[in-house]
A and B are shown apart, each in its own frame.
Chain A
Amino acid sequence: MIRFENVGLRYGLGPEVLRDLSFRVDSHSFQFLTGPSGAGKTSLLRMLFLSLKPTRGLISMFDHDTAALTKDDRATLRRRIGIVFQDFRLLDHLTTYQNVALPLRVLGKDEASYRAEVVELLQWVGLGERIGALPPVLSGGEKQRAAIARAVIARPQLLLADEPTGNVDPNLGQRLLRLFIELNKSGTSVVIATHDIALMDEYDARRLVLHEGRLHVYD
Protein backbone atom coordinates (compact mmCIF):
# COMPACT_ATOMS: atom_id res chain seq x y z
CA MET A 1 0.00 0.00 0.00
CA ILE A 2 2.83 2.39 0.94
CA ARG A 3 6.44 1.99 -0.10
CA PHE A 4 9.45 4.11 0.87
CA GLU A 5 12.67 3.57 -1.08
CA ASN A 6 15.90 5.26 -0.02
CA VAL A 7 13.98 8.26 1.22
CA GLY A 8 16.00 11.10 2.70
CA LEU A 9 14.84 14.35 4.23
CA ARG A 10 16.65 17.52 5.09
CA TYR A 11 15.32 20.90 6.11
CA GLY A 12 16.84 23.67 4.02
CA LEU A 13 20.59 23.25 3.71
CA GLY A 14 20.90 21.45 7.05
CA PRO A 15 22.01 17.84 7.56
CA GLU A 16 19.74 14.96 6.60
CA VAL A 17 17.37 14.32 9.49
CA LEU A 18 16.10 11.11 7.90
CA ARG A 19 18.38 8.90 5.82
CA ASP A 20 17.84 5.96 3.48
CA LEU A 21 14.39 5.01 4.74
CA SER A 22 13.17 1.90 2.96
CA PHE A 23 10.08 0.15 4.27
CA ARG A 24 6.51 -0.81 3.44
CA VAL A 25 3.21 -0.38 5.16
CA ASP A 26 0.92 -3.18 4.03
CA SER A 27 -2.84 -3.30 3.94
CA HIS A 28 -4.50 -4.34 7.23
CA SER A 29 -1.16 -4.00 9.04
CA PHE A 30 -0.55 -2.52 12.49
CA GLN A 31 2.72 -0.88 13.48
CA PHE A 32 4.22 1.36 16.09
CA LEU A 33 6.64 4.06 14.96
CA THR A 34 8.96 4.87 17.79
CA GLY A 35 12.28 6.43 18.68
CA PRO A 36 13.65 9.07 21.00
CA SER A 37 12.30 12.61 20.97
CA GLY A 38 13.61 14.50 17.98
CA ALA A 39 14.34 11.30 16.04
CA GLY A 40 12.04 12.43 13.21
CA LYS A 41 8.82 10.56 13.99
CA THR A 42 6.62 13.54 13.22
CA SER A 43 8.58 14.30 10.02
CA LEU A 44 8.10 10.71 8.86
CA LEU A 45 4.38 10.90 9.72
CA ARG A 46 4.11 14.12 7.71
CA MET A 47 5.71 12.40 4.71
CA LEU A 48 3.25 9.53 5.14
CA PHE A 49 0.50 12.14 5.21
CA LEU A 50 1.78 13.87 2.06
CA SER A 51 2.28 17.17 3.83
CA LEU A 52 6.05 17.00 3.53
CA LYS A 53 8.06 16.10 0.43
CA PRO A 54 11.24 14.05 0.75
CA THR A 55 14.45 15.59 -0.53
CA ARG A 56 15.38 12.31 -2.19
CA GLY A 57 14.07 8.82 -2.74
CA LEU A 58 10.75 7.42 -3.83
CA ILE A 59 7.48 7.34 -1.92
CA SER A 60 4.71 5.32 -3.50
CA MET A 61 1.24 5.55 -1.96
CA PHE A 62 -1.75 3.61 -3.18
CA ASP A 63 0.18 2.91 -6.40
CA HIS A 64 0.94 6.60 -7.00
CA ASP A 65 4.42 8.10 -7.10
CA THR A 66 3.89 11.00 -4.71
CA ALA A 67 6.49 13.18 -6.48
CA ALA A 68 4.27 13.29 -9.55
CA LEU A 69 1.11 14.37 -7.73
CA THR A 70 -0.44 17.81 -8.02
CA LYS A 71 -1.66 19.63 -4.92
CA ASP A 72 -5.27 18.64 -5.61
CA ASP A 73 -4.19 15.03 -6.28
CA ARG A 74 -2.54 14.99 -2.88
CA ALA A 75 -5.74 16.37 -1.30
CA THR A 76 -7.75 13.61 -2.98
CA LEU A 77 -5.27 10.94 -1.88
CA ARG A 78 -5.32 12.31 1.68
CA ARG A 79 -8.99 11.38 1.87
CA ARG A 80 -7.83 7.75 2.05
CA ILE A 81 -5.70 8.57 5.09
CA GLY A 82 -6.92 9.54 8.54
CA ILE A 83 -4.62 11.38 10.92
CA VAL A 84 -4.81 12.03 14.64
CA PHE A 85 -2.62 14.87 15.81
CA GLN A 86 -1.00 15.07 19.18
CA ASP A 87 -2.69 18.45 19.68
CA PHE A 88 -6.01 17.17 18.19
CA ARG A 89 -6.50 20.10 15.77
CA LEU A 90 -10.24 20.28 16.38
CA LEU A 91 -12.02 23.44 15.23
CA ASP A 92 -13.18 25.29 18.33
CA HIS A 93 -16.22 26.91 16.73
CA LEU A 94 -17.68 23.60 15.53
CA THR A 95 -19.45 21.11 17.80
CA THR A 96 -18.02 17.63 18.34
CA TYR A 97 -20.51 16.32 15.79
CA GLN A 98 -19.58 18.96 13.21
CA ASN A 99 -15.86 18.38 13.77
CA VAL A 100 -16.22 14.64 13.25
CA ALA A 101 -18.43 15.16 10.18
CA LEU A 102 -15.94 17.59 8.59
CA PRO A 103 -14.23 15.05 6.26
CA LEU A 104 -17.65 14.00 4.91
CA ARG A 105 -18.66 17.61 4.40
CA VAL A 106 -15.44 18.19 2.48
CA LEU A 107 -16.40 15.22 0.29
CA GLY A 108 -19.57 17.17 -0.57
CA LYS A 109 -21.95 14.76 1.13
CA ASP A 110 -25.37 15.89 2.23
CA GLU A 111 -25.77 16.26 6.00
CA ALA A 112 -28.81 14.00 6.10
CA SER A 113 -26.84 11.19 4.43
CA TYR A 114 -24.18 10.97 7.14
CA ARG A 115 -25.95 12.13 10.32
CA ALA A 116 -26.79 8.65 11.60
CA GLU A 117 -23.32 7.35 10.76
CA VAL A 118 -21.55 10.17 12.64
CA VAL A 119 -23.83 9.83 15.67
CA GLU A 120 -23.22 6.07 15.72
CA LEU A 121 -19.44 6.56 15.59
CA LEU A 122 -19.56 9.19 18.33
CA GLN A 123 -21.49 6.76 20.50
CA TRP A 124 -19.01 4.04 19.66
CA VAL A 125 -16.08 6.15 20.90
CA GLY A 126 -18.06 7.15 23.97
CA LEU A 127 -18.98 10.70 22.99
CA GLY A 128 -22.68 10.04 22.58
CA GLU A 129 -23.46 12.56 25.30
CA ARG A 130 -21.10 15.20 23.96
CA ILE A 131 -22.36 15.51 20.38
CA GLY A 132 -23.31 19.17 20.72
CA ALA A 133 -20.36 20.21 22.89
CA LEU A 134 -17.69 22.57 21.61
CA PRO A 135 -14.05 21.40 21.90
CA PRO A 136 -13.06 23.99 24.55
CA VAL A 137 -15.40 22.30 27.04
CA LEU A 138 -14.20 18.74 26.25
CA SER A 139 -11.65 16.99 28.43
CA GLY A 140 -8.30 15.91 26.96
CA GLY A 141 -9.51 12.34 26.56
CA GLU A 142 -12.75 13.45 24.92
CA LYS A 143 -10.86 15.65 22.47
CA GLN A 144 -8.56 12.75 21.67
CA ARG A 145 -11.54 10.49 20.93
CA ALA A 146 -13.21 13.20 18.84
CA ALA A 147 -9.97 13.56 16.85
CA ILE A 148 -9.83 9.80 16.35
CA ALA A 149 -13.50 9.73 15.28
CA ARG A 150 -12.80 12.52 12.74
CA ALA A 151 -9.82 10.55 11.42
CA VAL A 152 -11.84 7.39 10.84
CA ILE A 153 -15.31 8.69 9.85
CA ALA A 154 -14.54 8.56 6.11
CA ARG A 155 -13.30 4.95 6.49
CA PRO A 156 -9.65 5.61 5.58
CA GLN A 157 -7.38 2.82 4.41
CA LEU A 158 -4.56 4.14 6.57
CA LEU A 159 -4.75 5.69 10.03
CA LEU A 160 -1.82 7.71 11.35
CA ALA A 161 -1.70 8.76 14.98
CA ASP A 162 0.93 11.04 16.49
CA GLU A 163 1.44 10.33 20.21
CA PRO A 164 -2.25 9.50 20.67
CA THR A 165 -1.72 8.65 24.34
CA GLY A 166 0.54 11.59 25.11
CA ASN A 167 -2.21 13.63 26.74
CA VAL A 168 -4.13 10.94 28.57
CA ASP A 169 -3.65 8.76 31.64
CA PRO A 170 -2.40 5.17 31.19
CA ASN A 171 -5.86 3.73 31.67
CA LEU A 172 -7.36 5.84 28.88
CA GLY A 173 -4.22 5.18 26.80
CA GLN A 174 -4.98 1.46 26.95
CA ARG A 175 -8.58 2.08 25.95
CA LEU A 176 -7.51 4.18 22.98
CA LEU A 177 -5.10 1.43 21.96
CA ARG A 178 -8.01 -1.00 21.98
CA LEU A 179 -9.89 1.39 19.76
CA PHE A 180 -7.03 1.39 17.24
CA ILE A 181 -6.82 -2.40 17.37
CA GLU A 182 -10.54 -2.61 16.72
CA LEU A 183 -10.21 -0.27 13.73
CA ASN A 184 -7.32 -2.35 12.43
CA LYS A 185 -9.46 -5.47 12.65
CA SER A 186 -12.07 -3.77 10.55
CA GLY A 187 -9.48 -3.37 7.78
CA THR A 188 -7.63 -0.11 8.40
CA SER A 189 -3.84 -0.07 8.42
CA VAL A 190 -2.59 1.69 11.52
CA VAL A 191 0.66 3.55 12.22
CA ILE A 192 0.98 4.85 15.78
CA ALA A 193 3.90 7.16 16.50
CA THR A 194 4.75 6.94 20.18
CA HIS A 195 7.64 6.78 22.60
CA ASP A 196 5.45 5.17 25.24
CA ILE A 197 7.19 1.81 25.78
CA ALA A 198 4.42 0.64 28.12
CA LEU A 199 1.83 1.22 25.45
CA MET A 200 3.82 -0.78 22.88
CA ASP A 201 4.25 -3.58 25.37
CA GLU A 202 0.47 -3.83 25.58
CA TYR A 203 0.14 -5.11 22.05
CA ASP A 204 2.40 -7.32 19.99
CA ALA A 205 2.85 -5.45 16.74
CA ARG A 206 5.46 -4.54 14.21
CA ARG A 207 7.81 -1.77 15.35
CA LEU A 208 9.49 0.84 13.18
CA VAL A 209 12.27 2.37 15.26
CA LEU A 210 13.91 5.62 14.22
CA HIS A 211 17.39 6.16 15.55
CA GLU A 212 19.88 8.78 14.43
CA GLY A 213 17.96 9.38 11.22
CA ARG A 214 17.77 5.72 10.20
CA LEU A 215 14.86 3.32 10.44
CA HIS A 216 15.09 -0.15 11.94
CA VAL A 217 12.16 -2.47 11.37
CA TYR A 218 11.28 -5.18 13.92
CA ASP A 219 8.59 -7.44 12.51
Chain B
Amino acid sequence: MSTIEPPETMAEPWDKGDPAAPSLSAQLTPAPIVPSGSIAGRSLTAVVAIMTFLASLTTGAVMMVVSSASDWQSDVSREITIQVRPVPGRDIEADVRAAIDITRATPGITDVRAYTKEESAQLIEPWLGSGLALGELPIPRMIVVKLASGTPPDFAALRNALAAKVPSASLDDHRGWIDRMRTMAETAVVVGIAILALVLAVTMLSVTFATRGAMAANRPIVEVLHYVGATDGFVASQFQRHFLILGFKGGAIGGGAAMVLFGILGAANTWLAGTAGGDEAAALFGGFSIGIGGYVAILIQVMLMAVVTALTSRRTVSQTLASIE
Protein backbone atom coordinates (compact mmCIF):
# COMPACT_ATOMS: atom_id res chain seq x y z
CA MET B 1 0.00 0.00 0.00
CA SER B 2 1.46 3.34 -0.96
CA THR B 3 0.89 6.47 0.98
CA ILE B 4 0.16 9.80 -0.61
CA GLU B 5 1.01 13.12 0.92
CA PRO B 6 -1.94 15.39 1.52
CA PRO B 7 -1.54 18.79 -0.09
CA GLU B 8 -0.83 21.92 1.90
CA THR B 9 -4.22 23.31 1.04
CA MET B 10 -7.30 21.64 -0.38
CA ALA B 11 -8.37 24.72 -2.18
CA GLU B 12 -5.64 24.75 -4.77
CA PRO B 13 -6.69 21.93 -7.09
CA TRP B 14 -10.28 23.06 -7.50
CA ASP B 15 -10.76 26.58 -6.47
CA LYS B 16 -9.64 28.59 -9.44
CA GLY B 17 -11.75 31.61 -8.64
CA ASP B 18 -10.82 34.54 -6.47
CA PRO B 19 -12.12 33.76 -2.96
CA ALA B 20 -13.08 37.37 -2.48
CA ALA B 21 -14.92 37.60 -5.79
CA PRO B 22 -18.21 35.73 -5.15
CA SER B 23 -20.61 38.20 -3.64
CA LEU B 24 -23.23 36.78 -1.32
CA SER B 25 -26.38 37.50 -3.19
CA ALA B 26 -29.89 37.39 -1.90
CA GLN B 27 -29.87 33.74 -2.98
CA LEU B 28 -27.82 32.95 0.09
CA THR B 29 -30.30 34.19 2.62
CA PRO B 30 -32.05 31.26 4.30
CA ALA B 31 -34.83 29.94 2.10
CA PRO B 32 -37.70 27.93 3.62
CA ILE B 33 -36.42 24.39 4.24
CA VAL B 34 -39.80 23.06 3.15
CA PRO B 35 -40.60 24.86 -0.13
CA SER B 36 -44.03 26.47 -0.08
CA GLY B 37 -44.69 25.18 -3.61
CA SER B 38 -44.61 21.61 -2.30
CA ILE B 39 -47.61 22.20 -0.06
CA ALA B 40 -51.01 21.84 -1.73
CA GLY B 41 -51.37 25.54 -0.94
CA ARG B 42 -53.99 27.00 -3.22
CA SER B 43 -56.63 24.32 -2.82
CA LEU B 44 -56.19 24.21 0.95
CA THR B 45 -56.29 28.01 1.17
CA ALA B 46 -59.56 27.87 -0.79
CA VAL B 47 -60.96 25.23 1.60
CA VAL B 48 -59.99 27.27 4.66
CA ALA B 49 -61.40 30.45 3.04
CA ILE B 50 -64.73 28.79 2.23
CA MET B 51 -64.98 27.24 5.68
CA THR B 52 -64.18 30.55 7.39
CA PHE B 53 -66.77 32.27 5.19
CA LEU B 54 -69.43 29.70 6.15
CA ALA B 55 -68.46 29.90 9.82
CA SER B 56 -68.62 33.71 9.71
CA LEU B 57 -72.02 33.66 7.98
CA THR B 58 -73.30 31.26 10.60
CA THR B 59 -71.96 33.36 13.45
CA GLY B 60 -73.38 36.56 11.90
CA ALA B 61 -76.77 34.96 11.28
CA VAL B 62 -76.96 33.57 14.82
CA MET B 63 -75.97 36.94 16.26
CA MET B 64 -78.67 38.66 14.18
CA VAL B 65 -81.34 36.16 15.26
CA VAL B 66 -80.35 36.45 18.91
CA SER B 67 -80.29 40.24 18.75
CA SER B 68 -83.65 40.42 16.89
CA ALA B 69 -85.22 37.96 19.32
CA SER B 70 -83.95 40.03 22.19
CA ASP B 71 -85.42 43.20 20.60
CA TRP B 72 -88.76 41.48 20.05
CA GLN B 73 -88.69 40.10 23.57
CA SER B 74 -88.08 43.50 25.10
CA ASP B 75 -90.82 45.05 22.93
CA VAL B 76 -93.32 42.34 23.83
CA SER B 77 -92.41 42.25 27.49
CA ARG B 78 -92.95 46.01 27.78
CA GLU B 79 -96.62 45.45 27.10
CA ILE B 80 -99.40 43.30 28.54
CA THR B 81 -102.94 42.78 27.36
CA ILE B 82 -106.19 42.53 29.32
CA GLN B 83 -109.07 40.86 27.56
CA VAL B 84 -112.61 41.53 28.78
CA ARG B 85 -115.12 38.98 27.53
CA PRO B 86 -118.82 39.77 27.15
CA VAL B 87 -120.78 37.86 29.76
CA PRO B 88 -124.58 37.74 29.76
CA GLY B 89 -125.96 39.94 32.51
CA ARG B 90 -122.89 42.18 32.76
CA ASP B 91 -122.25 45.52 31.12
CA ILE B 92 -119.06 45.07 29.11
CA GLU B 93 -118.43 48.83 28.94
CA ALA B 94 -118.59 49.06 32.73
CA ASP B 95 -116.31 46.04 33.03
CA VAL B 96 -113.77 47.67 30.64
CA ARG B 97 -113.84 50.91 32.65
CA ALA B 98 -113.43 49.00 35.93
CA ALA B 99 -110.51 47.01 34.53
CA ILE B 100 -108.87 50.26 33.33
CA ASP B 101 -109.27 51.85 36.76
CA ILE B 102 -107.83 48.84 38.59
CA THR B 103 -104.89 48.68 36.18
CA ARG B 104 -104.15 52.42 36.39
CA ALA B 105 -104.02 52.11 40.18
CA THR B 106 -101.31 49.48 39.95
CA PRO B 107 -97.71 50.77 40.28
CA GLY B 108 -95.32 50.17 37.36
CA ILE B 109 -97.83 51.02 34.63
CA THR B 110 -97.27 54.00 32.30
CA ASP B 111 -100.24 53.84 29.97
CA VAL B 112 -103.56 52.01 29.72
CA ARG B 113 -105.65 52.17 26.58
CA ALA B 114 -108.76 50.24 25.67
CA TYR B 115 -109.34 49.40 22.03
CA THR B 116 -112.51 51.09 20.79
CA LYS B 117 -115.24 49.03 19.18
CA GLU B 118 -114.03 50.18 15.75
CA GLU B 119 -110.45 49.13 16.50
CA SER B 120 -111.66 45.75 17.70
CA ALA B 121 -113.63 45.39 14.47
CA GLN B 122 -110.47 46.17 12.51
CA LEU B 123 -108.62 43.46 14.41
CA ILE B 124 -111.10 40.77 13.36
CA GLU B 125 -111.85 42.22 9.95
CA PRO B 126 -109.41 39.91 8.10
CA TRP B 127 -111.42 36.90 9.33
CA LEU B 128 -115.00 38.14 9.42
CA GLY B 129 -115.04 40.85 6.75
CA SER B 130 -115.95 44.55 7.00
CA GLY B 131 -119.24 46.25 7.77
CA LEU B 132 -120.07 44.26 10.87
CA ALA B 133 -122.57 45.42 13.43
CA LEU B 134 -120.44 44.71 16.50
CA GLY B 135 -123.30 45.25 18.85
CA GLU B 136 -124.84 42.02 17.60
CA LEU B 137 -121.73 39.94 18.23
CA PRO B 138 -120.16 39.01 21.57
CA ILE B 139 -116.74 40.45 20.74
CA PRO B 140 -114.20 40.62 23.60
CA ARG B 141 -112.58 44.00 24.22
CA MET B 142 -108.81 44.48 24.45
CA ILE B 143 -106.98 46.78 26.85
CA VAL B 144 -103.33 47.43 26.03
CA VAL B 145 -101.17 48.19 29.07
CA LYS B 146 -97.70 49.74 28.70
CA LEU B 147 -95.26 48.88 31.46
CA ALA B 148 -92.63 51.11 32.99
CA SER B 149 -89.10 49.85 32.32
CA GLY B 150 -87.11 48.61 35.27
CA THR B 151 -89.88 47.95 37.82
CA PRO B 152 -92.39 45.38 36.54
CA PRO B 153 -95.80 45.52 38.20
CA ASP B 154 -97.02 42.76 40.52
CA PHE B 155 -98.90 40.68 37.93
CA ALA B 156 -100.33 38.30 40.55
CA ALA B 157 -101.85 41.13 42.59
CA LEU B 158 -103.23 42.74 39.42
CA ARG B 159 -104.69 39.41 38.27
CA ASN B 160 -106.36 38.90 41.71
CA ALA B 161 -107.74 42.42 41.77
CA LEU B 162 -109.22 41.99 38.29
CA ALA B 163 -110.68 38.60 39.16
CA ALA B 164 -112.35 40.08 42.24
CA LYS B 165 -114.00 43.02 40.49
CA VAL B 166 -114.16 42.04 36.82
CA PRO B 167 -114.55 38.24 36.64
CA SER B 168 -114.82 38.35 32.85
CA ALA B 169 -111.33 39.92 32.46
CA SER B 170 -108.20 37.88 31.84
CA LEU B 171 -104.63 39.12 31.93
CA ASP B 172 -102.10 38.05 29.27
CA ASP B 173 -98.50 38.98 30.13
CA HIS B 174 -97.23 37.43 26.84
CA ARG B 175 -95.10 34.94 28.77
CA GLY B 176 -95.92 32.22 26.23
CA TRP B 177 -94.62 34.34 23.36
CA ILE B 178 -91.49 35.31 25.25
CA ASP B 179 -90.80 31.68 26.13
CA ARG B 180 -91.26 30.64 22.52
CA MET B 181 -88.96 33.36 21.30
CA ARG B 182 -86.37 32.49 23.87
CA THR B 183 -86.54 28.84 22.80
CA MET B 184 -86.22 29.88 19.14
CA ALA B 185 -83.17 32.03 19.88
CA GLU B 186 -81.58 29.25 21.94
CA THR B 187 -82.27 26.75 19.15
CA ALA B 188 -80.63 29.11 16.64
CA VAL B 189 -77.55 29.32 18.89
CA VAL B 190 -77.37 25.52 19.26
CA VAL B 191 -77.77 25.00 15.50
CA GLY B 192 -75.11 27.67 14.89
CA ILE B 193 -72.68 25.98 17.29
CA ALA B 194 -73.36 22.61 15.60
CA ILE B 195 -72.63 24.13 12.17
CA LEU B 196 -69.44 25.74 13.50
CA ALA B 197 -68.36 22.38 14.94
CA LEU B 198 -68.98 20.70 11.57
CA VAL B 199 -67.09 23.45 9.73
CA LEU B 200 -64.15 23.08 12.14
CA ALA B 201 -64.19 19.29 11.74
CA VAL B 202 -64.17 19.57 7.92
CA THR B 203 -61.32 22.09 8.11
CA MET B 204 -59.30 19.84 10.40
CA LEU B 205 -59.85 16.83 8.16
CA SER B 206 -58.87 18.80 5.05
CA VAL B 207 -55.74 20.10 6.78
CA THR B 208 -54.87 16.58 7.97
CA PHE B 209 -55.09 15.18 4.43
CA ALA B 210 -53.17 18.13 2.97
CA THR B 211 -50.45 17.79 5.63
CA ARG B 212 -50.11 14.06 4.96
CA GLY B 213 -49.77 14.84 1.27
CA ALA B 214 -47.16 17.51 1.97
CA MET B 215 -45.23 15.13 4.23
CA ALA B 216 -45.26 12.42 1.57
CA ALA B 217 -44.12 14.90 -1.09
CA ASN B 218 -41.36 16.19 1.18
CA ARG B 219 -40.20 12.86 2.58
CA PRO B 220 -36.65 13.31 1.18
CA ILE B 221 -36.40 16.67 2.96
CA VAL B 222 -37.60 15.14 6.23
CA GLU B 223 -34.98 12.38 5.89
CA VAL B 224 -32.17 14.84 5.19
CA LEU B 225 -33.25 16.95 8.17
CA HIS B 226 -33.07 13.87 10.37
CA TYR B 227 -29.63 13.04 8.97
CA VAL B 228 -28.27 16.46 9.88
CA GLY B 229 -29.52 16.08 13.43
CA ALA B 230 -32.93 17.77 13.38
CA THR B 231 -35.33 16.77 16.12
CA ASP B 232 -38.97 16.01 15.31
CA GLY B 233 -39.92 19.36 16.84
CA PHE B 234 -37.69 21.23 14.40
CA VAL B 235 -39.08 19.32 11.40
CA ALA B 236 -42.66 19.87 12.59
CA SER B 237 -42.05 23.61 12.97
CA GLN B 238 -40.90 23.81 9.32
CA PHE B 239 -44.26 22.45 8.18
CA GLN B 240 -46.30 24.27 10.81
CA ARG B 241 -44.98 27.65 9.64
CA HIS B 242 -46.44 27.07 6.16
CA PHE B 243 -49.78 25.91 7.46
CA LEU B 244 -50.08 28.79 9.92
CA ILE B 245 -49.52 31.32 7.09
CA LEU B 246 -51.87 29.36 4.85
CA GLY B 247 -54.53 29.26 7.58
CA PHE B 248 -54.25 33.01 8.14
CA LYS B 249 -54.46 33.67 4.41
CA GLY B 250 -57.51 31.44 3.93
CA GLY B 251 -59.14 32.74 7.11
CA ALA B 252 -58.56 36.36 6.12
CA ILE B 253 -60.05 35.80 2.65
CA GLY B 254 -63.13 33.97 4.00
CA GLY B 255 -63.64 36.24 7.00
CA GLY B 256 -63.01 39.36 4.88
CA ALA B 257 -65.59 38.21 2.31
CA ALA B 258 -68.13 37.62 5.08
CA MET B 259 -67.46 41.09 6.55
CA VAL B 260 -67.90 42.69 3.11
CA LEU B 261 -71.14 40.76 2.62
CA PHE B 262 -72.53 41.87 5.98
CA GLY B 263 -71.41 45.42 5.20
CA ILE B 264 -73.23 45.38 1.85
CA LEU B 265 -76.38 43.86 3.41
CA GLY B 266 -76.33 46.46 6.16
CA ALA B 267 -75.91 49.27 3.61
CA ALA B 268 -78.65 47.81 1.38
CA ASN B 269 -80.91 47.66 4.41
CA THR B 270 -80.32 51.37 5.00
CA TRP B 271 -80.92 52.27 1.33
CA LEU B 272 -84.09 50.20 1.17
CA ALA B 273 -85.50 51.63 4.40
CA GLY B 274 -88.99 52.98 3.77
CA THR B 275 -89.71 50.60 0.87
CA ALA B 276 -92.08 47.70 1.46
CA GLY B 277 -89.40 45.03 0.97
CA GLY B 278 -86.91 46.86 3.14
CA ASP B 279 -89.37 47.27 5.96
CA GLU B 280 -90.35 43.58 5.80
CA ALA B 281 -86.69 42.55 6.00
CA ALA B 282 -86.06 45.05 8.81
CA ALA B 283 -89.08 43.70 10.72
CA LEU B 284 -87.81 40.14 10.32
CA PHE B 285 -84.08 40.59 10.87
CA GLY B 286 -84.00 43.87 12.75
CA GLY B 287 -81.48 45.17 10.20
CA PHE B 288 -78.61 43.18 8.70
CA SER B 289 -76.03 44.91 10.83
CA ILE B 290 -74.01 42.52 12.99
CA GLY B 291 -72.45 45.39 14.92
CA ILE B 292 -68.91 45.73 16.23
CA GLY B 293 -69.37 42.54 18.26
CA GLY B 294 -70.12 40.58 15.08
CA TYR B 295 -67.03 41.86 13.30
CA VAL B 296 -64.89 41.08 16.35
CA ALA B 297 -66.38 37.56 16.41
CA ILE B 298 -65.45 37.10 12.72
CA LEU B 299 -61.89 38.33 13.40
CA ILE B 300 -61.62 35.86 16.29
CA GLN B 301 -62.83 33.15 13.92
CA VAL B 302 -60.14 34.03 11.36
CA MET B 303 -57.49 33.63 14.06
CA LEU B 304 -59.14 30.45 15.31
CA MET B 305 -59.03 28.99 11.78
CA ALA B 306 -55.33 29.83 11.42
CA VAL B 307 -54.51 28.33 14.82
CA VAL B 308 -56.64 25.22 14.16
CA THR B 309 -54.92 24.80 10.77
CA ALA B 310 -51.46 25.14 12.32
CA LEU B 311 -52.20 22.86 15.29
CA THR B 312 -53.85 20.20 13.12
CA SER B 313 -50.89 20.15 10.74
CA ARG B 314 -48.48 19.98 13.67
CA ARG B 315 -50.36 17.03 15.14
CA THR B 316 -50.37 15.26 11.78
CA VAL B 317 -46.67 15.98 11.22
CA SER B 318 -45.80 14.70 14.71
CA GLN B 319 -47.83 11.53 14.15
CA THR B 320 -46.19 10.97 10.76
CA LEU B 321 -42.70 11.65 12.16
CA ALA B 322 -43.31 9.25 15.03
CA SER B 323 -43.89 6.52 12.46
CA ILE B 324 -40.59 7.32 10.68
CA GLU B 325 -37.57 5.81 12.38
Q: Does residue A210 face the partner (Cβ distance < 8 Å to B)?
A: no
Q: Does residue B223 face the partner (Cβ distance < 8 Å to A)?
A: yes
Whether A200 lies near B1 (C-beta < 8 A) is: yes
Whether B229 lies near A78 (C-beta < 8 A) is: yes
Query: Roughly how many angstroms separate A15 CA and B225 CA in the complex, as a whole number?
Result: 32
Of residues 192 through 242 on chain B, the ones whose CB sits less than 8 Å from some CB of chain A are: 220-221, 223-234
Q: Does residue B164 face the partner (Cβ distance < 8 Å to A)?
A: no
Whether B17 lies near A128 (C-beta < 8 A) is: yes
Query: Roughly how many angstroms separate A83 CA and B226 CA in the complex, as a whole number?
Result: 11
Given contacts A126-B10, A202-B2, A203-B3, contact A98 B229 (CB under 8 A): no
- The residue of chain B having its C-beta at the shortest distance from the C-beta of A133 within the complex is B27
Given contacts A126-B11, A128-B19, contact A102 B24 (CB under 8 A): no
Q: Does residue A47 face the partner (Cβ distance < 8 Å to B)?
A: no
Query: Roughly how many angstroms separate A174 CA and B10 CA in the complex, as a whole number?
Result: 12
Bin the interface of chain A by size: 35 or more
Whether A126 lies near B226 (C-beta < 8 A) is: no
Chain B nearest CB: distance from A38 CB in Å? 22
Query: Roughly how many angstroms separate A83 CA and B7 CA in the complex, as a whole number?
Result: 23
Stretch from B28-36, B48-56, B127-135, B300-308 that touches the partner:
B28-36
Of residues 12 through 43 on chain B, the ones whose CB sits less than 8 Å from some CB of chain A are: 13-17, 19, 21-22, 24-25, 27-31, 33, 35
Given contacts A107-B229, A145-B14, contact A181 B30 (CB under 8 A): no
Given contacts A72-B232, A76-B231, A111-B30, contact A89 B220 (CB under 8 A): yes
- The residue of chain B having its C-beta at the shortest distance from the C-beta of A123 within the complex is B19
Whether A203 lies near B232 (C-beta < 8 A) is: no
Query: Roughly how many angstroms separate A111 CA and B26 CA in the complex, as a whole number?
Result: 13
Q: Does residue A24 face the partner (Cβ distance < 8 Å to B)?
A: no
Judged by DSSP, the binding face of A is helix
Q: Does residue B156 face the partner (Cβ distance < 8 Å to A)?
A: no
Given contacts A78-B227, A102-B228, A182-B10, contact A204 B3 (CB under 8 A): yes
Residues of A within 8 A of B1 (CB): 200-201, 203-204
Whether A93 lies near B35 (C-beta < 8 A) is: yes
Of residues 56 through 111 on chain A, the ones whose CB sits less than 8 Å from some CB of chain B are: 71-72, 75-76, 78-79, 83, 85, 89, 91, 93-95, 97-98, 101-103, 105-107, 111
Residues of A within 8 A of B15 (CB): 123-124, 126-129
Whether A106 lies near B6 (C-beta < 8 A) is: no
Interchain CB contact (< 8 A) of B228 among A131, A150, A185? A150
- The residue of chain A having its C-beta at the shortest distance from the C-beta of B13 within the complex is A175
Chain B nearest CB: distance from A134 CB in Å? 9
Q: Does residue B325 face the partner (Cβ distance < 8 Å to A)?
A: yes
Residues of A within 8 A of B157 (CB): none
Whether B227 lies near A201 (C-beta < 8 A) is: no
Whether A71 lies near B232 (C-beta < 8 A) is: yes
11 chain-A/chain-B pairs, Cβ below 8 angstroms: A51-B227, A78-B229, A91-B221, A94-B33, A115-B24, A115-B28, A126-B13, A128-B22, A129-B17, A132-B28, A182-B7
Can you name 10 extra interface pairs (CB under 8 A) apart from A76-B229, A125-B14? A97-B24, A97-B28, A102-B228, A127-B15, A175-B13, A179-B10, A182-B7, A201-B1, A201-B2, A204-B2
